[in-house]
Structure 1
């Protein structure tokens, strides 16, 4: 049995009209002159594809490492490249070298924001 949509909408909530809801500014609408470093603590997931192929190979070969040498070496090579890149990035971050682009850490952003403070 089908129920008409008018019956279903009777108990539904109607959307509010925007002109009837006043805007209340709880906090000032301006940016701060600094950025916290909490968001930079991300979990790095690297070499996920290589790890998956390595485990798939080991599962098919009953976890015999001698039959999956190619996959294991690919995973180890990928992880070494990842560790080297992370080390270089950390070294440049500690030296204060700012590379132009979108991937700036919080220290570099704070350095830029000190140069251009908010006028408020």
Structure 2
């Protein structure tokens, strides 16, 4: 009776696995790997809702007191104070944006970034793209 090793070795020695060898694949440039001189203004119009917490407290107070305004005067005043502060902050941010300043804690607008990129354009590239 023949052994399994004799049968396996009759066809020749086993080859080692080749999946660990990395094949070098040349990268084909579809576009030049350089930065553009502009950014798109996509997704800038998403705005946060100011005073949402105060609004929620005011609405729950109204619901608990059957929409009687006199019982919820403190919550209404808190909401109005918050709203005026938010409007003032929005005005200040708009003035700063018109002057070209970047507001601290916020992403700069695409218009501001594009103005900066116009001042300092990217150098021309020397990559020839072959299709």
Scaled by the length of structure 1, the TM-score of the pair is 0.70
List runs of 5+ in structure 2 lacking aligned partners: 1-19, 126-131
1:51 maps to which of 48, 51, 55: 55
Offset at residue 92 of structure 1 (A)? 1.9
**Residue of structure 2 equivalent to 1:5:** none
2:115 maps to which of 92, 111, 114: 111
Offset at residue 25 of structure 1 (A)? 4.3
Is 2:91 the counterpart of 1:90?
no
Please provide the CA RMSD for this pair.
2.5
Distance in 1 separating the partners of 2:38 and 2:84: 34
Aligned length: 102
Partner deviation per Cα, 1:45-82 (whole Å, 9 max, x = no partner): 11111011111111111111111001011011101111
Alpha-carbon contact 2:65-2:71 (below 8 Å) kept: yes
1:33 maps to which of 31, 37, 42: 37
Match of 2:79, SS?
helix
**Residue of structure 1 equivalent to 2:16:** none
List runs of 5+ in structure 1 lacking aligned partners: 1-16
